[in-house]
Structure 1
């Protein structure tokens, strides 16, 4: 039985390394070597600096030799990797190992023939700077800007035409159309759609999600231009003219009532503010009250002393009796609640049916109300409803009084405004949002003042000229 070649190589290299380290510590021929002076080891810094680590270095060197020969430390390898049982023997082992461990070859030849199991060091240059932080050359930056058709600044930060950069030079690349010119006929050959290579791993942009609630304009069936009322004619029927006048009167009365209600609210707020200011005591913060001083001397003179009822202290027996009564009341209340619960158990099914029926009736009423609201919305649009900050206006009723009615179209007086009618119609059909006129803000007039120093300067100049 013989040991394999790999184990022999490892043991031989380790032995030679140990002999080399021992030879360094061998005694000199001319005498004993000088001893290392014992330096101070006071403190952690001095200890780390002056400690003898020769043994540690020897151990690390042995590990490095093992890594160079076998690729890793020997203690990390399994026995199957280090040893093998040779039952046949091989005559070529000695011949294959002869050139490496031969004494007839030169030393530098044997050194050059050594091959370490540790991977070689990377020889090409590597940069620790990230790719996005590396600086580009001026030429490379110009080339990339031309390819991206980005706006570039010239003298005085003026935006320059990208086609003028590099004119007359060979830095401008040909466009893709120029490179492929003459290769196909744009009129006869169908253009094939290019497959996007990034579509396989780049997620597609999601389409905007449609809200669950439909837009109000989808439920409004109001025509853009409504048919005018019969009462707006130059020669209307009496009944139609009367009904239109009644509608106009009701709308005006409603507007007057709202104005009066708003006026009363403002007056009430103003009265409350004045009352609050009248109650404020000078020298005190708003909201604080002053306690009235009781005239004790006057009370003593009259001899009237308020009688104070002193509660009598209960005895121990009375307290026990009261506690017993409270416990009995609590017990009776619990029994009554339990009795009601037991009585309600047989009627639980009937109660459930009653609640379900009430729930169905309420849902039916709610559906009917929504249907009626939708019907009203379809009939008159959003007129009178509040959207956001403002309310959609209902519009004025164009009607003429009986004495203002014309006898013919030639003498008819114009009423209303077509642009205003179209604008209100778009608001009522939920095509545009309700708005109010934005009036320009009034700015205070700029006042000019003459500084005292300038007045003094004027006086001095006038005195000089005089």
Structure 2
């Protein structure tokens, strides 16, 4: 073993140098011993029985270990559980202190947990509950629950006293407790009896599916799509395509009407004029001499005011009477009109009642139609494999000019693989998916100027950028 000699004349100006060149093993051992004594206790205070063991057997004779729990085999499960009650559970052993170090503060005040000491508010609420009879009612319910639990426990422990049933006499499976759902030819008797639980009851049979889905093996296209169709089949397909296009045009017109069509188009000049008018409201307008009214020529000795004085001309008795008569006549005509409308409404009651009955009958018919349609859709609906809906198939159509009697000359209008894939989705064999297209990033190129760049490099870069545009 090589012994490392201590260097002479080393610098000890900082802590790292002191730790490196000073031997402090004896101090660390002393501190470790002191911590161990604090944890386990001092050896001076422990008795000899804990520290030493008297060996009465030799090395050749094996030591007989005493049975720690000799009568545990003869105990019942209840006795074993009761014996484990005073033992601290494993989950709480972490909370217990492992150190033997005494508490430095011997006179520590004991703090009671929250809720153990009744507060003034809790005392008041308890008094109110006592006056109202809430506590008495709780006591009664607790006693009733205890009584019911005891009766239930007693009933479960009770056994039958009359043995008048012969279980060996009847060989049927119903007598052995096997329910009707398990009695079948291809299931053996041992398996039927094994599958019956102790309560003699089985789990409820799940309801059958609403409909047995019957998918078509192949989604047959319309006969008018053929490369050599008959005239009638081609015309039927043409009508379907026309109806589909009309529906799409109507939908596009509706979307335009409720979005873009709501806003009127304004030219930039009109927009600027409108903005100027709105922002100049309340401001003094500039004087326009062309719009000034021509002044009237007044006489030599005549004075005419711009705003002539208003005369307070009083109404006479005749004018007031006429005004009052007009108001009364207007009110009388109004009342006559209301009375006439009441009479006409009375005569219209039968008509209104008939129209209401018609409306109710129409609503009932529409409701029944909706319910039957919903039921039919539920019966024939495909299984919901995911949240997405399968793509709707658009009608295929070939222009009459492109129709040929030869299969080799017909143009390709669709992709066969895509059609088969979408057909699987529409028939519920595959879950509907969404096309995910990866966008190509547009990278901008820059020309890095430098002292090594020549005119040929600049021309090449300009030509390349012009070609990309």
The bucket for the TM-score relative to the shorter chain is 0.3 to 0.5
- TM-score, normalized by length of structure 1? 0.34
